[in-house]
Structure 1
Amino acid sequence: MDTIISIIVPIYNAEKFLASCIDSILSQTFKNFELLLIDDGSQDSSLSICQKYQQNDNRITVFHKNNEGVTAARKYGVEKAKGEYISFVDADDIIPENSLALLYKEHDNADMVIGNFIEVMPHYSKKNKLYSPQVGRFNGIDYISLQLENKLYHAPWGKIIRKNCFNDDIFTTPRDIFRGEDLIMNIKLGLNIKDIKIVNTIVYYYMIRPSSCMQSRKPTLEYEKMFDRFLMLILKRNKLDTKLKKSILSQRIDALTGLLTEKIHLDKNDTFVKMIYSQLKISSFDMRQILLKTCLSHPSIFNILYRVYRKLSSITT
């Protein structure tokens, strides 16, 4: 019988949580899958853990490669996969036992099926957080729009994707793109995908670990401008820059608002900031536009208005 789903787990120094991840996959009620464990040059016992599991289950294949990062590990896994569909799982997360069954049951010949997830916080006093997706049937351009507007999570997990939708370009990003790689990958996927189904069914547990709270490189306006240039190259090359103008503005608003939350001063005379500012419309009644336009003019009141905005957003969602 041909393999239906190839599950790809990129692994780097994940010995603390790896067994829980693999156990959750092997416990799936859906049995027709292969599990590709891609060890990306781990320096702990991750590789030996993978090899022990491989000895006991012939659906598991272990690959060891030099460390090149999670994107390269996913690309390697896709190249080795034999399944009709690809599913990604991070090595420190777990999936419910009916995850694959639920996703495949919903596929209805779609190129991609996207499920819901829960943020699980086992070491924190906060409650687990349930994500609320926009469900329905969408085409590739719709998918790109949802990604740009942050109405659909950027992570590659929590879904099954037809393998023939992948090509080498999907995983190609410049080395200086260290944040937002998943958004870029999803936009490129959207260019190759015709039919997407989004369902409000829990298929993934995103585990908030103490180790996942490490500080990444501090965001800067220069980085956001560089990221925007690369993003626009892709959209312009595919003649989507005009068609997705509203969605592009939404992504740029998120970028500048994110900088303000990090208390980074934004110069209204900067060409990039000035361009975005000129497109903001108070009359639109878009709370994000009102917030950003007001705070670019009066940065000292950002923290107050942002707390109000978050409070109102939690009430309306």
Structure 2
Amino acid sequence: MKPLITVIVPVYNGEAFIEKCFNSILNQTYKNLEIIIINDGSTDGSQEICDKFAELDERIIVVHQSNIGLSSVRNKGLDMASGELIGFVDSDDSIHPRMYEILQKHLHDNDADIAMCEISKVYDTNINEHIRESNITVNKQEIHFLEQEEAFKNLFNEKNLVTVVPWNKLYKKEVFKHVRYPDGKVHDDEFVIHHIIQATKKIVFTDAVLYYYFHNENSFTNEKYTLKRLDAIEAIKDRVLLFELQKYNELLQKGSNTYLHLIIIHYYSVQRHFPIEKEVMEQLKKEFEIGFKNYKNIINYKNRMELKFFSIHPSVYSRFVKVRKRLSNLLF
């Protein structure tokens, strides 16, 4: 028998879209599934829909609980999982009928620790049309192999989203032996992806589009800026510390540059959206000063000179950026 795949589905106030999501999982050509649906304190009709699906298919396990947050839900699903392999599906998304069939085959045939696929951001619920478009990519799919170093480098290029998100992948359960999502944090995938890559030897990637990421206007990524987003700085700092500990010098250069620029981005975001939060801005400036002192000598000259302006004063950096933009417009 093919190995059991545990699919973990967090649900929170998803009555408008979870039936579509659940059906896309139940309609998988790969049948040996354990589907753990965790209803995280929904206040709409999600509970009734989850229970209805559990009655329809014995592979479904439903847990209802008070709201504890996405990270804790993912961890609970991992702790409950019986499968040798693990997958995640967000409840407002859908998957291609052959997603787990294809990923399991690539995982097995290539002795990989993770198999991942290409994703498509969709703006409607016409799943059948998306499947027809995906079938073209399935029939022409190309397979690529990522060793640890290349997977880490993908965190800093156009493949960042595909690499970081948890839900377009099939994992060997052992990958999570020492990895859990941080409770109470947003950007939880950014916190764990570098630890997941560190726990793997090989990742196989197919460019077939098998996961449909629904553009939900009410999702966290589309919310107005809040101070919760500062968690992203902590996540990238943790990544930098891993690179430093493992002596990944090239990655440390990229990571520290990203970390310091992220602090700057959030400084101006707080300044714009929460101008009264002077203490938060001061804390960000202090964190930047410490980080710049620690990493300035490993960052390339061009980035170091740019970051130097912020270390002098944020207003100096702002003027530098405006002048650079004006010059760029004149030249191009």
Shift of residue 149 of structure 1? 5.6
1:22 maps to 2:22: yes
Shift of residue 74 of structure 1? 0.9
CA offsets per residue over residues 26-73 of structure 1, 9 Å max, x none?
121222212111111222221211110011111111112232111111
Alpha-carbon distance in structure 2 between the residues aligned to 1:194 and 1:160? 15
Higher mean displacement: 54-63 or 263-272: 263-272
Alpha-carbon distance in structure 2 between the residues aligned to 1:137 and 1:102? 15
1:203 alignment partner AA:
L
Normalised to the residue count of structure 1, the TM-score between the two structures is 0.76
Shift of residue 304 of structure 1? 8.4
CA contact (8 A) 1:280 1:293 kept: no
- Cα pair distance change 1:260/1:20, threshold 3 Å: same
Counterpart secondary structure, 2:74: helix
Name the counterpart of 1:101: 101
- Cα pair distance change 1:40/1:136, threshold 3 Å: same
Name the counterpart of 1:52: 52
Alpha-carbon distance in structure 2 between the residues aligned to 1:97 and 1:308? 51
1:200 maps to 2:207: yes
Name the counterpart of 1:249: 256
- Cα pair distance change 1:68/1:306, threshold 3 Å: farther
Normalised to the residue count of structure 2, the TM-score between the two structures is 0.73
Counterpart secondary structure, 1:262: helix
Name the counterpart of 1:62: 62
| Superposition pairs of residues 5-16 of structure 1, within 5 angstroms | 5-16=5-16
2:155 alignment partner AA:
Q
Alpha-carbon distance in structure 2 between the residues aligned to 1:157 and 1:306? 37
CA offsets per residue over residues 66-121 of structure 1, 9 Å max, x none?
32111111111111112221010001111122211221221122110011101112
| Superposition pairs of residues 120-159 of structure 1, within 5 angstroms | 120-122=122-124, 136-147=144-155, 151-153=159-161, 154-159=164-169
Alpha-carbon distance in structure 1 between the residues aligned to 2:12 and 2:326? 37
Counterpart secondary structure, 1:246: helix
Work out which of the residue numbers 204, 208, 217 in structure 2 matches 1:210: 217
Alpha-carbon distance in structure 2 between the residues aligned to 1:215 and 1:225? 18
Larger Rg: 2
- Cα pair distance change 1:260/1:199, threshold 3 Å: farther
Shift of residue 190 of structure 1? 1.9
Alpha-carbon distance in structure 1 between the residues aligned to 2:82 and 2:208? 26
CA offsets per residue over residues 167-196 of structure 1, 9 Å max, x none?
3x5225364xx3432122112212222221
Work out which of the residue numbers 272, 290, 299 in structure 1 matches 2:318: 299
Alpha-carbon distance in structure 2 between the residues aligned to 1:15 and 1:119? 20
- Cα pair distance change 1:61/1:184, threshold 3 Å: same
CA contact (8 A) 2:118 2:209 kept: yes
How many matched pairs?
A: 291
CA contact (8 A) 2:257 2:299 kept: no
Name the counterpart of 2:291: 272
1:200 alignment partner AA:
D
CA contact (8 A) 1:291 1:305 kept: no
Work out which of the residue numbers 184, 195, 213 in structure 1 matches 2:191: 184
Shift of residue 260 of structure 1? 7.1
- Cα pair distance change 1:21/1:261, threshold 3 Å: farther
CA contact (8 A) 1:219 1:259 kept: no
CA contact (8 A) 1:119 1:206 kept: yes
Work out which of the residue numbers 250, 260, 265 in structure 2 matches 1:258: 265
Q: Going by fraction, where is helix more abundant, 1 or 2?
A: 2
- Cα pair distance change 1:44/1:308, threshold 3 Å: farther
Alpha-carbon distance in structure 2 between the residues aligned to 1:117 and 1:74? 20
